[in-house]
Amino acid sequence: MSIRTFLRELEAQNQLIKIKKQVSTEFEISAVMKKLDGGSAVFFENVEGYSIPIVGGICGTRDRIAFSLKTKSSELLHKLLDAVEHRNPVRIVEKAPAQEIIEKEIDLLKQLPILTYCEKDGGPYITAGIVVAKDPLTGIRNVSIHRLMVIGRNKLAIRIVEGRHLDQYYKIAEGLNKPLEVGIAIGLHPVLLMASSSSVPLYVDEFEVASALAGESIELVKCKTVDVEVPAQAEIIIEGKILPHIRAKEGPFVDILGAYDIVREQPVVEVTCLTHRNNPIYQSILPGGYEHMLLMGLPQEPRIFKVVQNTVPSIQNVYLTPGGCHWLHGVISIKKRTEGDAKNAIIAALAAHPSLKHVIIVDDDIDIFNSQQVEYAIATRVQADRDVVIVTNVRGSSLDPSANQEQGALTSKVGIDATKSLMKQRELFELAKIPNENQIDLKKYLE
Ligand code: MN
């Protein structure tokens, strides 16, 4: 489970663009990544001032993520749900490629090609680092992805969203006046990125989710200077500790909606050691790009599915759409059994993912991944006075610039019931078929 094996698979499928031209870590690499966003992954061989190449966009499309998890795009949600529910153990190894080279003298910007992406960025920062920590009380591992801004030779400001698992661990450590030890892994197979961003309860080890997704135990190795285990097949490991009672300015950086997040006072990681492979590869996620949106949004789909399933057991699938930044807009398909099913699904979905702002419920004959089919359902199955639900003054996304952020992201939400009415004759909604149309092989007619 290394990024190297995955890059070879992408190359074999012509899904990896290799850039030989020399490129700068400041604005140039990000500009090329943005041009290629949503398409192939990209590998920058010649990075100005560094001997380390950079890869981006490996999780840049839903299909590529599905391919990396050996499943189909439409089955991703079920694969993720299954992995969370049937986790597999990890395996601890003694020797690891990630520790082929050990560096105790730290100067992050000299040692790693850390990128500056956008015009108003607060500085260079790491976007594809998974942060591994252990609960100071139970020792149970947590793995999550965080922005890491370089603020000194051996210092990083870390963005930790209040209330998240790492925040809970950090607050416990801080209460004990102790630092929280962390291992930060960069250059990983998509399985590890997907597992790290999965939405699981506190005290569920995301590496066990990764093992389930991979179908084999993920290999971990103990860090050299801290008591934390990190992926043995990673390209680069930054070891350090999040210092108690210290804060530094973090940002401004670009969020999932492509706008600037505010500058905040955030905790500080003091780096104690850097280990890496011989000839490591640095990995980057373009902020506000598809990879960023997918890694954040995809794990919400199984969460929404589970909550809606409690109310509407016949739910089929959930899709957070790209136009809504894989975050604010959802489409859900159900097999409608009673007239109120879709409305219940609306209410459950809006509560399951608080950032969800507009949700459309469709029947299972509509392909939720096809926006034209979803619009067709709205066009032919909706009467607005009856099928639209508006909920006002609910908590929404803290990123939505149109919400009332002064009062804690107060927003209005809309649900559209675009399912066929059970009161009407089913035949009215029947989609016309031509006999044997699916058996027609067009090639034979064009010869
Ligand atoms: Mn967690």
pLDDT, tens digit (0-9, with 9 covering 90-100), for 375-431: 999 999 999 999 999 999 999 998 899 999 888 889 999 999 999 998 877 788 888
Task: Please write down the HEC assignment for all residues of 55-101.
Answer: EECCCCCHHHHHHHCCCCHHHHHHHHHHHHHCCCCCEEECCCHHHCE
**CA-CA distance, 247 to 240, in Å (whole number)?**
16
What pLDDT score does 245 carry?
Answer: 98
- Active site (catalytic) residues: 255
pLDDT tens track for 160-172: 999 999 999 999 9
Domain ranges of the chain: 3-295, 299-428
* Average pLDDT estimate for 278-298: 97
What pLDDT score does 429 carry?
Answer: 84
What pLDDT score does 279 carry?
Answer: 98
* Average pLDDT estimate for 273-281: 98
Question: Is CATH 3.40.1670.10 the classification given to domain 299-428?
Answer: yes
The H or E element spanning position 332 is: strand 329-334
Ligand 1 centre distance from Cα of residue 133 (Å): 10
Ligand 1 centre distance from Cα of residue 255 (Å): 21
Q: For residues 241 and 179, is the Cβ–Cβ distance under 8 A? A: yes
Ligand 1 centre distance from Cα of residue 302 (Å): 15
What pLDDT score does 437 carry?
Answer: 87
Ligand 1 centre distance from Cα of residue 241 (Å): 18
What pLDDT score does 275 carry?
Answer: 98
User: Any idea which architecture 3-295 has in CATH?
Assistant: Roll (2.30)
Number of other CB atoms surrounding residue 310 within 10 Å: 11
Number of other CB atoms surrounding residue 422 within 10 Å: 12
Ligand 1 centre distance from Cα of residue 394 (Å): 26
pLDDT over threshold 90, residue 304: yes
pLDDT tens track for 136-181: 999 999 999 999 999 999 999 999 999 999 999 999 999 999 999 9
Ligand 1 centre distance from Cα of residue 220 (Å): 17
Taking the chain, what is the end-to-end CA distance rounded to the nearest angstrom? 45
